[in-house]
Chain A
């Protein structure tokens, strides 16, 4: 199969994730969309690795996964704490700035 198709898929997934981040209010969903973007990037990295015939991209993908896992741990903890104190998981409600 033409590896370029994987790149199209990665672009599609990234776009989906980005739109989700921008359009959804629920923090959990926003979070999932971020993961989607990260994984789209991973897919692109692995595909390029394959296309160029070296392992750099794959190693990079592992790093991204580690960072993503760490991010999930911290991010979910924050979301849970915010939900406990404000009884809402909406990212828009969390703004305390005065305009």
Chain B
């Protein structure tokens, strides 16, 4: 079975290679080939999953060694895969949701003449992400990590004829690079400390290193995770990434890319467990991002950007859970999987709405769409109920577990974390209800688009609605499946470990509190957007609203803190370079030039003046000789 792992990764990469190198002759059927490669990958993943299920808990780790990549003396960096329960969970999510998104894209990108290229990039994205989660060492993980960065750059900027898309792609790439630097420093630190990159050698020996080193590694890993997972302070690329086609947003937000950071933190759990300071920072980052994303999500009128804020917030939950250590790892991953279902469903639903509305994204110009797009409405609605934590849907189970884990941290910290997460849950309910009400309820506020075409909302084709239905089914059912006999917890426990903290509140109380704040959030949104008509032009709003519409001034902050300082620094350096460095160089050259100009005059071409110098020299020599003899 081990040999299937390589095939699993190879299939989408092969798809990418064929589609991108195959040229125009593949234009007509290329997308089906890309879909097939993703599906092959998914089938292999399912086969491997059942193989793992047949084994006992501790033996559920498969290794496949492909070849030695960098053999230098005793040091080895291998291209080798490791499939354990954690990787398996990710692989199923990536290939499963990925395949659905491929299918959806067949319909969504139907009229795009560069569809073949789009599927090539999608396959590349999938392959890179699989490489990332299946690598058995950090160096190979880094390859996948960079591959994901590249693919996201290509996909976000897919409509590169739009300057905004090209800029957004560059922004995502540059911000991600900041995180990548963190990962490379972390890997180098691991190498100097443990002499290896392999999970099998670094993680079990994590205790042997000093706490300072581990904190350093942990913080650098966190920086990397912040970049990929759009956590504060590297969150600014996520909103702009909505410039990409909607399936890309779904792929980035649900199955790939943003989950990579959570994977990295959970995978490196042993390092974080031994470095409590780094863990605290992870928790703080998660908590801040959770609120940050939620507040941004509440204010955006662009449906995709509102959902992007929501993703940021949900990943914040996962980060926070991952920062709690063994009491949270399992639930971070559980929320990641359920989030994969409902967020992919939400994005695909948003794409379906845009598809029917002439690519309009402003929710203030939607309204009353539920009768025109019944399938989209129902699937979007189920995913909506799942994300706000409606009782017994998937978000209810996973989010409550995280909130409970937060309380289990104990003491004041536990209360603060639990409170923050409950507040986040209320905000989640608020912004999701807002999206729901503005899009599907109320009166029609449709406007003709820039070319004067009236929108004619219609249900999307089957290739688009089927994935949405499957995802909605997953969003509803995943919670039951995971919760039944705590199957998910038992499945992941051998890899991540599991501890129970002593929580001041019981499970039941947390569920009741979470449901209560959810109802509050829904009611708040209904009072504002359901009870009275939604204005087509956004009201000015309070200071906070205006700030949140500008993504809480993240770009202004980055501009002031980094762009401005950077340009001042550059200007200063240029000045120094001109005045100091060039001054020294030019001054030296000028003085030598002047000196040689004067020395040149000795060579005047008159034989007799040369003779004088010869005689003079001879006289001097004689004089010196005589003097030396006298002394």
Contact = CB atoms under 8 A, between A and B. Distances in A.
Contacts of B601: 99
Contacts of A99: 601, 604
Interface stretch (A2-10, A45-53, A64-72, A88-96): A88-96
Contacts of B612: 22
A40 to B, nearest CB: 14
A18 interface: yes
B615 A91 contact: no
Given A91-B606, A95-B605, 5 more contacts: A21-B611, A22-B615, A30-B607, A30-B608, A91-B608
B615 A97 contact: no
Interface in B589-631: 601, 603-608, 611-612, 615
B603 A94 contact: no
SS class of chain A's interface: helix, strand, loop or mixed? loop
B607 A94 contact: yes
Nearest to B618: A18
User: Which of A30, A94, A95 lies at the interface centre, i.e. has the most chain B CB atoms within 10 A of its CB?
Assistant: A95
B601 to A, nearest CB: 6
Interface of A: 18, 21-22, 25, 30, 91-92, 94-97, 99
A94 B612 CA distance: 17
A21 B608 contact: yes
Interface of B: 601, 603-608, 611-612, 615
Contacts of B611: 21-22
A95 B604 contact: yes
Contacts of A92: 606-608
B237 to A, nearest CB: 66
B339 to A, nearest CB: 84
A96 B603 CA distance: 11
Nearest to B615: A18
Contacts of B606: 91-92, 95
A83 to B, nearest CB: 15
A45 to B, nearest CB: 17
Contacts of A97: 603-605
B620 to A, nearest CB: 15
Contacts of A96: 605
A18 B606 CA distance: 16
B599 to A, nearest CB: 13
B334 to A, nearest CB: 89
* Pairs A-B, 6 closest by C-beta atoms: A97-B605, A95-B605, A91-B607, A95-B606, A21-B611, A92-B606
A70 to B, nearest CB: 20
B141 to A, nearest CB: 70
A22 B606 CA distance: 11
Contacts of A18: 615
A35 to B, nearest CB: 15
A57 to B, nearest CB: 19
Nearest to A27: B607
A92 B603 CA distance: 13
Nearest to B606: A95
Contacts of B615: 18, 22
Contacts of A21: 608, 611
Contacts of A30: 607-608
Contacts of A22: 608, 611-612, 615
A97 B605 CA distance: 5
23 contacts: A18-B615, A21-B611, A22-B608, A22-B611, A22-B612, A22-B615, A25-B608, A30-B607, A30-B608, A91-B606, A91-B608, A92-B607, A92-B608, A94-B605, A94-B607, A95-B604, A95-B605, A95-B606, A95-B607, A96-B605, A97-B603, A99-B601, A99-B604
A18 B612 CA distance: 9
Contacts of B603: 97
Contacts of B608: 21-22, 25, 30, 91-92
